[in-house]
Homo-oligomer: A and B are copies of this chain.
Amino acid sequence: MKIAVGQINPTVGDMSGNAGRINKVVSRAVQEGADLVIFPELTATGYPPRDLLLRPDIINRVEKVLEVDISPASRQVGILIGAPVRSREGQLFNAALLYSGGRLLGRQDKTLLPNYDVFDENRYFLPAERRKLIAFGGLNLGVTICEDIWNDKDYWGEVRYDVDPVADLVSDGADLIINISASPYNAGKCLLRGRMLCSTAKKYHRSIIYVNQVGGNDELVFDGSSLQINAAGEVVWHAKSFQEDFAVLNAVSSGPGRAGFSGPAEEGIQDIFDALVLGVQDYMRKTGFSQAVVGLSGGIDSAVTAALACAAVGPENVLGVAMPSRYSSRESLEDARSLSDNLGMQLRTIPIDSVFSSYLDTFYPGNPVQVDTAEENLQARIRGNILMFISNREGHLVLSTGNKSELAVGYSTLYGDMSGGLAVLADVPKTMVYQLANYINRSRIIIPPRIISKPPSAELSPGQVDADSLPPYPVLDEILKAYIEDNLSEDEIVQLQGSRDLVRDVLRKVDRAEFKRRQAAPGLRVTTKAFGMGRRFPIAWRRG
């Protein structure tokens, strides 16, 4: 049996658009002689559909599309597709539906519903009541959905759920394990996933076909990276990462594979770069923006953001705006100019000083400058206003440039540099921003070396540098990772890095900046714990 893999990029809620995309892949599968074509988890709606799933009209629309667009197409080739399915009592299941001969041949609901981090599946779905093989093309298919395959006690040592769907299906006689997924990317995820799948295939002596969604949906970027693993636990095929892909595979691969897991999923800064580019690209496309605007301070965050934006939508669609103040250095403006020349993007210069003076005059005639946080924030807000004005008048999406380290400790201005539709680096720690900058410069200088080498500064008061109020970024980032990603306590962090006073001060800053993050633009998730939908902290709380 020949199985086609349709690694596609659906748009959330766009059931007819997704059906069109599915049917193009179905046609190609027919042309190339496939017997079955497999699509990712919840392809019908795109993942994550979130509270759209609570709307009966949305589910009606899914049912209609399955009936009118998908089912008839299965007269030519089997179609295995993920979709929400409603029971007669109105309860939803996260299902894999196998259509063949113009009708529904089999269905397997998802058993293990993730409800941690960015996942809310218990909010929407009931778990499968049973796991049952689906006979197709002479094989017994063991169909699983995403989380279902992540519960192997032998691999993980401990597990989150009592049931292991893969074990159940193998003991029932599955010839082949299929997994349809919407598994979001984070640094290291492809490797983790690949190794785990190889181990599972080998343990059960079954080949696995793993089909993952690709594309950016708000905060989440799905990398695709679909795989076929043979029964010896070797990778026999892998899809491209961070783009749509298609292949026709032999259902039970007899070919030799590559022992161990390596390949496109070898993790590195390139994957993070690609994930961010796709995230920007899809956020813009799916919200209907063709052009972006970025404030260029002459610093490294805005340089990397601009480079990512240019890679995503082309430099002709990215406008840089330099907004010098009385505290900006001449070098910063020069660096912003060189950067935009190197990227081939347009640069507009709009000085903020006369607006700044006008505000101060309005507050206090004679405008005595006090150089305090209020004035620092005001300058950042004037810049935010200018970018939003350009956005409102000319139609660009504002990309905000703050990094995760700043967002963590609140070293950013709400309604100022935090303004924007998408926060490109919101989950990129400052130390990783440097890695991205070096990656961007890998074949030729794009980011001027001075941007990379100079001490980071917000340039909001005379001679200000980040190091005045923050520890060195390598130290800060280690503390932040320990606190935010690893949930370590103050005591445990002090063992790792930094003095008691420093650690306590950083943790306090993180806790107190929650009110800013609550109003932050959505950011692209690239670590195991991003601010946003996956980290739900109170604002009005006190450590006591």
* Stretch of A102-110, A194-202, A380-388, A434-442 with 4 or more beta carbons under 8 angstroms from chain B: A380-388
- Which residues of B lie under 8 Å from residue A388 when comparing CB positions? 377-378, 381, 414-415
Q: In the complex, are the beta carbons of A14 and B359 less than 8 A apart?
A: no
Q: In the complex, are the beta carbons of B57 and A489 less than 8 A apart?
A: yes
- Which residues of B lie under 8 Å from residue A13 when comparing CB positions? 538, 541-544
* Stretch of A164-172, A232-240, A279-287, A470-478 with 4 or more beta carbons under 8 angstroms from chain B: A279-287
In the complex, whether A249 has a CB less than 8 A from a CB of chain B is no
- Which residues of B lie under 8 Å from residue A49 when comparing CB positions? 538, 541
* Stretch of A114-122, A185-193, A451-459, A495-503 with 4 or more beta carbons under 8 angstroms from chain B: A114-122
Closest to A378 in B: B389
Q: A491-544: which have CB < 8 Å to B?
A: 491, 515, 518-522, 533, 535-544
In the complex, whether A372 has a CB less than 8 A from a CB of chain B is yes
Known: A56-B489, A217-B538, A520-B519. A362 touches B355 (CB 8 A): yes
Known: A385-B359, A389-B374, A487-B56. A421 touches B536 (CB 8 A): no
Q: In the complex, are the beta carbons of B359 and A542 less than 8 A apart?
A: no
In the complex, whether A469 has a CB less than 8 A from a CB of chain B is no
**Count of chain A residues near B, Cβ 8 A:** 82
In the complex, whether A54 has a CB less than 8 A from a CB of chain B is yes
Query: What is the bound-complex CA distance between A536 and B217, given in angstroms?
Result: 14
Q: In the complex, are the beta carbons of A218 and B385 less than 8 A apart?
A: no
Q: A27-85: which have CB < 8 Å to B?
A: 46, 48-52, 54-57, 60
- Which residues of B lie under 8 Å from residue A17 when comparing CB positions? 542, 544
Closest to A355 in B: B358
Closest to A49 in B: B538
In the complex, whether A419 has a CB less than 8 A from a CB of chain B is yes
Q: In the complex, are the beta carbons of A537 and B51 less than 8 A apart?
A: yes
Q: Say how far A279's CB is from chain B's closest CB, in angstroms.
A: 10
In the complex, whether A431 has a CB less than 8 A from a CB of chain B is no
In the complex, whether A490 has a CB less than 8 A from a CB of chain B is yes
In the complex, whether A18 has a CB less than 8 A from a CB of chain B is yes
- Which residues of B lie under 8 Å from residue A120 when comparing CB positions? 115, 120, 123, 536
Interface string of A119-131 (1 = CB under 8 A from B): 0101100000000
Closest to A12 in B: B541
Choose among B16, B216, B377 the residue that contacts A389 (Cβ–Cβ < 8 A).
Answer: B377
In the complex, whether A250 has a CB less than 8 A from a CB of chain B is no
Query: What is the bound-complex CA distance between A537 and B350, given in angstroms?
Result: 36
In the complex, whether A254 has a CB less than 8 A from a CB of chain B is no
Closest to A519 in B: B519
| Copies of this chain | 2
Q: Say how far A368's CB is from chain B's closest CB, in angstroms.
A: 12
In the complex, whether A373 has a CB less than 8 A from a CB of chain B is yes
Q: In the complex, are the beta carbons of A51 and B536 less than 8 A apart?
A: yes
Q: In the complex, are the beta carbons of A16 and B515 less than 8 A apart?
A: no
Closest to A534 in B: B51
Query: What is the bound-complex CA distance between A138 and B519, given in angstroms?
Result: 53
- Which residues of B lie under 8 Å from residue A282 when comparing CB positions? 540
Query: What is the bound-complex CA distance between A382 and B386, given in angstroms?
Result: 11
Closest to A350 in B: B362
Q: In the complex, are the beta carbons of B363 and A354 less than 8 A apart?
A: no
Choose among B123, B374, B518 the residue that contacts A393 (Cβ–Cβ < 8 A).
Answer: B374
Known: A374-B393, A393-B372, A543-B14. A48 touches B538 (CB 8 A): yes
Closest to A283 in B: B540
Closest to A392 in B: B374
Query: What is the bound-complex CA distance between A487 and B357, given in angstroms?
Result: 49
Choose among B14, B60, B535 the residue that contacts A544 (Cβ–Cβ < 8 A).
Answer: B14
Query: What is the bound-complex CA distance between A94 and B372, given in angstroms?
Result: 46
In the complex, whether A225 has a CB less than 8 A from a CB of chain B is no
Q: In the complex, are the beta carbons of A350 and B377 less than 8 A apart?
A: no
In the complex, whether A341 has a CB less than 8 A from a CB of chain B is no
Q: Say how far A516's CB is from chain B's closest CB, in angstroms.
A: 10
- Which residues of B lie under 8 Å from residue A372 when comparing CB positions? 392-393
Q: In the complex, are the beta carbons of A354 and B358 less than 8 A apart?
A: yes
Query: What is the bound-complex CA distance between A421 and B359, given in angstroms?
Result: 22
Q: In the complex, are the beta carbons of B373 and A362 less than 8 A apart?
A: no
Q: Say how far A381's CB is from chain B's closest CB, in angstroms.
A: 5
- Which residues of B lie under 8 Å from residue A122 when comparing CB positions? 115, 122
Q: Say how far A241's CB is from chain B's closest CB, in angstroms.
A: 20
* 5 pairs of residues in contact across A and B, judged by CB atoms under 8 Å: A15-B544, A57-B490, A116-B123, A287-B539, A385-B385
Q: Apart from A218-B539, A286-B542, A378-B385, what 8 extra A-B contacts exist at CB < 8 Å?
A: A12-B538, A51-B535, A57-B491, A120-B120, A216-B540, A355-B358, A415-B415, A533-B536
A-side interface residues toward B, CB under 8 Å? 11-18, 46, 48-52, 54-57, 60, 115-116, 120, 122-123, 216-218, 282-283, 286-287, 350-352, 354-355, 357-359, 361-363, 370, 372-374, 377-378, 381-382, 384-386, 388-389, 392-393, 414-415, 419, 421, 487, 489-491, 515, 518-522, 533, 535-544
